[in-house]
Amino acid sequence: MSLMENIKMALSSLKAHKLRSVLTMLGIIIGVGAVIIVVAIGQGGEAVLKSQITGAGNTVELFYQPSEEELQANPSVLYEAAFTSEDIRMLETIPEVKQVVASSSEYSSIRYREQTGDSSVFGINQAYMDLNNLEIEEGQGFSEADFRSGRRAALISYSLQEKFFEGQSPIGEVIRIGNQPVEIIGVLAKPTGLFAFGSMDIYLPFNTWKMVFGKDDVTQMTLQATSADHIQAVAEKATFQLNQLHNTEDSYMVINMEEMAEGIGQITRIMTIIIGSIAGISLFVGGIGVMNIMLVSVTERTREIGIRMALGATRTQVLTQFLIEAIILTLIGGMIGILLGWGVSGIVASFAGWPSLISWQVVVGGIVFSMVIGIIFGLLPANKASKLDPIEALRYE
Amino acid sequence: MIELRDIRKTYTVGKEQIDVLKSIRLTIEEGEFTAIMGPSGSGKSTLMNIIGCLDKQTSGQYLLNGENISDYEDTALARVRNQSIGFVFQQFQLLPRLTALRNVELPMIYNGIGKRERLERAAEALRKVGLSDRMEHLPNALSGGQKQRVAIARAIVNQPQIILADEPTGALDTKTSISIMEQFVKLNEEGTTVVLVTHEPEIADYTNRTITVRDGEIVANDGRR
């Protein structure tokens, strides 16, 4: 008897008990669906977390961690800015560096007419604008000329606009940082995303910031590599050159965002495994459901088994018949489960605003796993069927 | 064709041994039409099951076509049932969810015959028993006599040498019984060896030979004709 014959026989027998077949499949459908959903959402979430951490990507952040000797030689070194404009010019000459993202920040009192407040004031360069995706809600951003000339222009954050201008347009208004006047040319869009919270910020072109605060400090520096493959080279060259220039020993270091993202990826993977194994338990329970129904089915069809044996079915053929029924049951259940998981994770992802990632490995794994469950849990009932005594089975009422 | 040598069948119930068949010696030649009679509990059904390879004797030898099949494995016995023997039961034993045609097709599935040939031969067998207009009916849409004719069609479809019928008319009225018996007579006339188990003398009268079993022994073996 061919496999095709067996499969057709199994299908017609499952079709004969539609309700029961569907109910049995339900356990597998839910189990496979749950596993798919957990894995898809887990992988989607991981991708979102990673991209939020690494930003536009391919970046390394430089920082300065003074050694014991340096601290003893100059105790206030921690409060001084670690980088200078000279460093930027030097780092820009490294061939693998696409751009140097530099910013300085200072906390300052601000004043607009009679209102006063405190705000972080950032001096930024052109690369910072590109990399950090600062979106302009109203007005316009800095032009190249603004960066070069040090025009007294400012971008303010959405929160600052809300507090000082209460819905009126701030464009063209003059705000004072300390005593220095700057003209507001744009308002930034309200930040979105995981780590966004509205703070009062003012952004100035780097040259303007130098004039306003009268110093040439760079507090934060990030290098963007030309490609992901060059991140390591950029990190090594930059730290080597900085340490040489500042005459320090390994005090200039990098925080590789990729590494951090990898760490977070590991955490989400562990979470996915934990939740996934809980979902796996429901798949296991579904398998036991299949076994139960198949056992009932074998008892109920005792006479059929007797007839088939009398007509010449071997024990192996009877075993195969019931095993294939179990496998088809779990296979169809598994496929419906995959569709269900795909649909639900798509819906969840669209609400959460992150991608649902269903890889072909997960789909193939789901199908293979549900078949394996069919074999494991179908074996006991099928074996029971094949061991029946044909005479007893024929007499069974 | 069928040769039983000192066939014994013993069941052990608790500590007691029950001899269902005691040293049965029996030969049935090709083309014979034989009835096995006896009261219930006489062992005639057990004898029938052993002849049909559904049961195995405790001791003794069973030769089918000169071949000793006493030591055959389950798989080999299933082959013998499939190809050499056709069963007809009192309770018809049709699969309720399959049409008449599909029921008749079953033995050929286990014989590895291709789909087209199966359907042709199943239709031919049903035509032979006069049911060509009932092929697509499910068993519960058929009368008792029709069901038994489907069962006969199923029994002959693999062209076995032997038809074994266990009380084939036991669930049928007299008129239907006659038409069923005529089917067996016809099959026998075409050369098939027919063995039937019955406790009705009128049914046994259709046959050429009556074997009477009582308490596990053959007490009478009358050939007619």
Tens of pLDDT along chain A (397 residues) come to: 678 888 888 888 888 888 989 988 998 999 899 888 888 888 887 777 777 666 556 778 888 888 887 788 877 777 777 788 788 888 888 888 888 888 888 888 888 888 888 888 998 888 888 777 778 888 888 888 888 888 889 998 888 888 888 878 888 888 998 888 999 999 888 776 555 567 788 999 988 888 888 888 888 888 888 877 777 788 888 888 888 888 887 788 887 666 776 777 788 788 888 888 888 888 888 889 889 989 998 999 999 999 999 999 999 999 999 999 999 999 999 999 999 999 998 888 888 777 777 888 888 888 898 899 999 999 999 999 999 999 999 988 7
Which of 132-161 (B) contact A at CB < 8 A? 154, 158
CA distance A164 to A173: 11
Sequence-distant (6+) residues with CB within 8 A of A269 are A42, A46
Retrieve residue B120's tokens: 């042709």
B182 sits in which H/E element: helix B174-189
Contact criterion met (CB < 8 Å) for B107 and A311? yes
Retrieve residue B168's tokens: 């084939």
Q: What angle do CA A241, A244, A249 make, to 5 degrees?
A: 110
A259 sits in which H/E element: helix A257-300
pLDDT at B224: 62
CB B208, CB B225: distance < 8 Å = yes
Retrieve residue A24's tokens: 């049995």
- The closest alpha carbon to A339, from A27, A22, A46, A37, belongs to A37
Q: What is the amino acid identity at position A332?
A: I
Contact criterion met (CB < 8 Å) for A307 and B95? yes
Pairing of β A252-256 and β A180-188: unpaired
* Chain A residue closest in CA terms to B156: A311
pLDDT digits (tens, 9 = 90+) for B18-62: 899 998 999 999 999 999 999 888 889 899 999 999 999 999 999
| Shortest Cα distance, chain A CAs vs residue B218, angstroms | 22
Retrieve residue A174's tokens: 């003059």
Contacts of A244-248 with C-beta under 8 Å, sequence gap 24+, read A245/A86, A245/A87, A245/A90, A248/A66, A248/A67, A248/A70
- The closest alpha carbon to B127, from B144, B145, B152, belongs to B152
pLDDT in tens, chain B (225 residues): 899 999 999 988 888 888 999 989 999 999 999 999 998 888 898 999 999 999 999 999 999 988 999 889 999 999 999 999 999 999 999 999 899 999 999 999 999 898 899 999 999 999 999 999 999 999 999 999 999 999 999 999 999 999 999 999 988 999 999 999 999 999 999 999 999 999 889 999 999 999 999 999 999 888 764
Q: Predicted ipTM?
A: 0.94
Block residue for tokens 């669930």: B171
Q: End-to-end CA distance of chain B, in Å?
A: 19
| Shortest Cα distance, chain B CAs vs residue A347, angstroms | 42
* Chain B residue closest in CA terms to A307: B93
Q: End-to-end CA distance of chain A, in Å?
A: 28
CA distance A51 to A193: 11
**Cβ–Cβ contact B89 with A under 8 A:** yes
- What ranges make up the beta strands (E) of chain A? 59-64, 97-112, 115-124, 136-139, 153-156, 174-177, 180-188, 201-205, 220-225, 252-256
CA distance A280 to A297: 25
| Shortest Cα distance, chain B CAs vs residue A279, angstroms | 37
Contact criterion met (CB < 8 Å) for B82 and A394? no
| Shortest Cα distance, chain B CAs vs residue A289, angstroms | 24
pLDDT at B136: 94
SS3 B141: helix
* Chain B residue closest in CA terms to A396: B93
Question: Which of A303, A315, A390 is the closest to B54 by Cβ?
Answer: A390
Residues belonging to chain A: 397
Residue ranges of the domains in chain A? 3-52+262-395, 66-250
Which of 307-346 (A) contact B at CB < 8 A? 307-317
Sequence-distant (6+) residues with CB within 8 A of B133 are none
Question: Which of B74, B97, B106 is the closest to A311 by Cβ?
Answer: B106
DSSP A83: B
